[in-house]
Amino acid sequence: MEAREEVRGGGILLSNQTVADLVTPEKDYGPTLETCCRFHWHFNVTRGEDQEHFAALSGYAEVLEKTRTKTFDWGVWATTSISEKKGQVERIPLNEVKRVSSDPRLSFFINDIDEDWYQYGAFPQIIESDFHITRAEYERRKAMRWPEADEGMIVTRMPAPPPPPAPEPPLPPVETIGRPRKNEAPSRRTTK
């Protein structure tokens, strides 16, 4: 119990370029990280399956649709019936996920636990933010040497890419036997 409490009180920052980076040939780490990480901040959801998953993750909102039927009787409009129907709509539909993902100033933020000022029931929230550094500062940092591993840093290595497939054998030359038809141009690959 004591060890678990120590782990719960700790923190680790995991960073990857895309959700697809969490899928390896051996295992998909996405569901594990969704379950174990409290804060999720997605700046760009690009893969189709991830976009659909994110739209589904946003949940549904209940709506009340009202329908009024009117008739025109003896030159006067009269309401003859009003009906109400409960329905559901996606909180963040797929098209909205695509729109947010295409805008560099927009991102999705999820906090799995409601506390203090953040009370959103673990639903994704769309956040608008400007870049935190100037373009010149970004270029300066980009040109810096990659840091060496320090104590407490988890260094990962990408697996080596698979070898390229063997080239296909060349196709045999195409031979044309006989004369071309009247309206047909002769083939460029003819053997004489």
3-state secondary structure 132-187: CCCHHHHHHHHHCCCCCCCCCCCCCCCCCCCCCCCCCCCCCCCCCCCCCCCCCCCC
Nearest to 84 by CA among 109, 68, 106, 65: 65
User: Are the C-beta atoms of residues 70 and 77 closer than 8 Å to each other?
Assistant: yes
- Summarize the confidence of residues 99-110 as an average pLDDT: 88
Write the pLDDT tens digit of every residue in 32-50: 777 777 778 888 888 888 8
As to burial, measured by CB atoms within 10 angstroms (0-12 exposed, 13-18 middle, 19+ buried), residue 34 is middle
pLDDT tier at 151, thresholds 50, 70, 90: confident
Beta partners for residue 28, in sequence order: 23
Q: pTM of the prediction?
A: 0.53
Q: Please, is 23 exposed, middle or buried when counting C-beta atoms within 10 Å of its C-beta (0-12, 13-18, 19+)? A: middle
- Residue 162 clears pLDDT 50, i.e. is over it: yes
pLDDT for 26: 85
49 sits in which H/E element: helix 48-57
Helix (H) or strand (E) holding 84: strand 76-90
Contact 45, 110 (CB under 8 A): no
* Kind and range of the H or E run holding 102: helix 94-102
pLDDT at 8 over 70: no
